[in-house]
């Protein structure tokens, strides 16, 4: 997948690069099997694509199994995912399986199919309900849907961990949230991140062990007895420029009390009190 601006020069450059790659490697691009998509373009942009001699595809387009759109995918756009899960249901074999066997199939197959999509985005509630309905129906009745009389226990109890009296079938919504929280580790190295709710949950669920202090951020991470500077000294934290918050490590800040030089603006009586509090905590860490 290649991205470029919808200008004649960029489109020409992309075509020349692909042709050059084909002559150098012998792997020529088949434009008849390729497609181009315009994002927020006008009629002029569509006319420039014609020079590539490839088909024009409208959003959403599927890439590596993920529907790509400028908005969150709708339930209708994710219907192929629901159909794929339904297609993996055994038909007549389900009647030969006991409930323990159906439970193993739900955990290993039906729940595993949507993992790739759950890692990338949060599906609509309707899609999650459809997927849960398929799992519930197959587990209780051996088919895609089950009536209330077939369901002996509420599905929320089934999705609880074994230690809490459930059967260990992970709920799709919570499992997807846990999968997407891993992007927080990548957001430390790049300027992108997940929604605010996921970022808040991740922040509240983790703390930072200092070690040598080169990987922990002085102003952002929870390294002060499991709390961050923003939690303990919010007024002082607001006096720190964003660039310093994202870049100053604990090792750098404690070296010669460099953290104090990050403070900018006029400090009031409350900011000074929080400054002295942070100074005392920093000295305790340095002396330890």
Query: Longest Cα pair distance anywhere in the chain, in angstroms?
Result: 76
Closest by CA position to 228, among listed 191, 270, 161, 281? 281
Matching residue, tokens 């599906």: 123
Segments making up each domain of the chain, as ranges = 8-58, 79-180, 207-287
- The pLDDT tens digits for 237-281 are 999 998 888 889 999 999 888 899 999 888 888 889 999 999 988
Segment holding 284, helix H or strand E:
helix 269-287
0.85 surpassed by pTM: no
- The pLDDT tens digits for 21-66 are 888 988 888 888 888 888 876 777 777 777 777 888 888 888 888 8
């Amino acid at each position: 997948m290649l991205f470029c601006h919808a200008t004649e020069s960029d489109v020409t450059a992309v075509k020349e690069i692909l042709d050059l790659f084909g002559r150098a490697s012998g792997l020529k691009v088949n434009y008849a099997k390729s497609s181009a998509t315009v994002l927020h373009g006008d009629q002029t942009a569509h006319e420039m694509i014609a020079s590539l001699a490839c088909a024009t595809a409208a959003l959403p387009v599927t890439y590596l199994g993920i529907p790509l759109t400028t908005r969150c995918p709708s339930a209708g756009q994710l219907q192929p995912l629901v159909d794929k899960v339904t297609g993996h249901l055994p038909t007549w074999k389900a009647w030969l399986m006991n409930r323990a066997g159906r439970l193993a199939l739900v955990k290993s197959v039906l729940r595993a199919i949507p993992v790739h999509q759950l890692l990338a985005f949060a599906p609509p509630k309707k899609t999650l309900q459809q997927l849960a309905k398929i799992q519930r129906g197959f587990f209780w009745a051996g088919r895609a849907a089950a009536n209330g009389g077939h369901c002996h226990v509420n599905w929320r109890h089934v999705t609880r961990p074994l230690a809490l009296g459930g059967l260990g079938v992970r709920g799709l919504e919570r499992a997807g949230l846990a999968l997407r929280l891993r992007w927080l580790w990548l957001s430390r190295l790049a300027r992108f991140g997940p929604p605010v709710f996921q970022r808040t949950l991740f922040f509240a669920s983790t703390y930072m062990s200092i070690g040598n202090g080169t990987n922990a951020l002085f102003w952002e991470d929870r390294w002060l007895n499991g709390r961050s500077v923003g939690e303990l000294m919010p007024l002082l934290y607001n006096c720190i420029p964003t660039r310093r918050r994202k870049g100053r490590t604990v090792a750098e800040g404690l070296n010669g009390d460099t953290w104090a030089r990050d403070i900018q603006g006029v400090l009031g009586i409350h900011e000074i009190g929080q400054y002295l509090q942070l100074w005392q905590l920093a000295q305790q860490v340095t002396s330890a």
